[in-house]
Structure 1
Amino acid sequence: MTLSLVVVDDQASVREALAVMLDLADGISVVATATHGGEAVEAVERYEPDVVLMDLHMPVMDGVEATGRIKAARPSVQVVVLTTFDDDESILAALEAGASGYLTKEADRAKIEQAVRSAGAGQVVLAPEVQRRLLSLATRRSRPADEPEFGLTARETEILGLIGEGLRNPEIAGRLFISEATVKTHINNLFAKAGFHSRADAVRYALNTAEPGGYRRQD
């Protein structure tokens, strides 16, 4: 299966280099490029891509607003942010807008290609430095009083916390000393209870349910 991709960046040299590089990758086809968020929204409407590789800080419309509009109009389209910014505000804004991946422009070709493929498969893709910042954010945030309870078990809540740290299934299995199949079962159960449609939903929820020093259990 070939993934269709839209590349968005206001810098012509970066945009063109990414488009050429990714279009040459096996199983990826760049169907359009855009110079700002407004053009990205239009390109998604016209070409209906699988994935959008999105810069954040651009004129006319930034990447956060564009991501929100794209996800509202076409929830199945996956957005991977590729930016020079890795501050807490930018990361959280992009994830809350619906991005399923966040890389910095220090990422090499292989990592960018893999991020596009992983996003196309419905997986969350976070650069290591972004994972560290998310973990730091999660340990500082408190749970809103009106946050809904989903009746998660202690194990499901523990796994939700690890998803919030950006861990993948094999890493969760290793951390908890359980099989990857068991992890998948717990994730399927917690997704069904919470109404999550993607791992990105779980990451965003985990950030908002974290208590200082750890995740709150729902008994």
Structure 2
Amino acid sequence: MHILIIDDQDCYREFLSGLLQGSDLNISIAEAATIKVARAKIKAPQQPYDFVLLDHMLPDGKGLDLLKEARNHYPDLPIAMLSAKEDPLLAWQCLELGALGFIQKNTALAVLLSAIQLMLAGGRYIPPHILPHMPMPKYKSNTSASNKHEQLTPRQSEVLDLLYSGLSNKAIAHRLKISEATVKAHITVIFKLMGVSSRTKLIAQHNSTSQQ
């Protein structure tokens, strides 16, 4: 899994890089300290990025502007915003623009790693103490069965359709031009959301629903 960390503080980039590389995840890290460098890395990566951690305040601009630009040109690129401030409005703006989450830099190590793992699996993360103060409640979890498909990200919906078609993880990764690790992370979220524990049960559930 290839991750890009965009932050102007060398010590914080090194901290995040060490945290991720020291986890059980198989991760390689690329870094950028400015929007200009980050833009070039995203546009022409040595290998496609599976995830981006983006600081809100950078020397040559705001991360929110780069997030907006990236969502327009690379809609399938998962991005999470980093911020030194507890700002519900900023968190809401990030999610409205398509970010998978909002992480405060003073977050405890265990929580930070769990949040990143959640987003790598396709979930959204907002600090629990910020969520009640956000301007809009649309990002609160909705577990209604009728809304299962609506809770999937566009990429997860693509993975789900390919699962229904019977493709293997390797074939899905090749079709969508993502890593097998990312495919597995998406499948984990899909299984949990759909209430199944295996590919066989997922397809059986789909076939049963289609026949009704």
Smaller-chain TM-score bracket: 0.5 to 0.7
Classify 1:110/1:184 alpha carbon distance in 2 versus 1 (closer, same or farther; 3 Å): farther
Deviation at 1:81, TM superposition (A): 1.3
Partner of 1:15: 13
Deviation at 1:101, TM superposition (A): 0.4
Q: Verify the 8 A CA contact 2:57 2:63 in the aligned structure 1.
A: yes
Deviation at 1:191, TM superposition (A): 6.1
Question: After the TM superposition, which parts of structure 1 deviate over 4 Å for at least 4 consecutive aligned residues?
Answer: none
Counterpart Cα distance in 2 of 1:36 and 1:96? 23
1:187 aligns with 2:144: no
Q: TM-score, normalised by structure 2?
A: 0.63
Counterpart Cα distance in 2 of 1:53 and 1:11? 13
User: Structure 2: 5+ residue runs without aligned partners?
Assistant: 157-212
Partner of 1:149: none
The residue correspondences of 1:38-187 to structure 2 (distance < 5 A) are 38-45=36-43, 46=45, 47-134=47-134, 137-138=135-136, 164-167=138-141, 172-173=142-143, 183-187=144-148
Deviation at 1:4, TM superposition (A): 1.8
Classify 1:5/1:92 alpha carbon distance in 2 versus 1 (closer, same or farther; 3 Å): same
User: Structure 1: 5+ residue runs without aligned partners?
Assistant: 139-160, 174-182, 200-219
Q: Verify the 8 A CA contact 1:51 1:77 in the aligned structure 2.
A: yes
Classify 1:93/1:186 alpha carbon distance in 2 versus 1 (closer, same or farther; 3 Å): closer
Q: Verify the 8 A CA contact 1:23 1:29 in the aligned structure 2.
A: yes
RMSD: 2.4
Classify 1:123/1:198 alpha carbon distance in 2 versus 1 (closer, same or farther; 3 Å): farther
Q: TM-score, normalised by structure 1?
A: 0.62
Show CA shifts across 1:57-90 (max 9, x none): 1111321111112222222211111211222442
Counterpart Cα distance in 1 of 2:151 and 2:20? 32
SS in 2 for 1:123: coil
Partner of 1:197: 154
SS in 2 for 1:68: helix
Partner of 2:2: 4
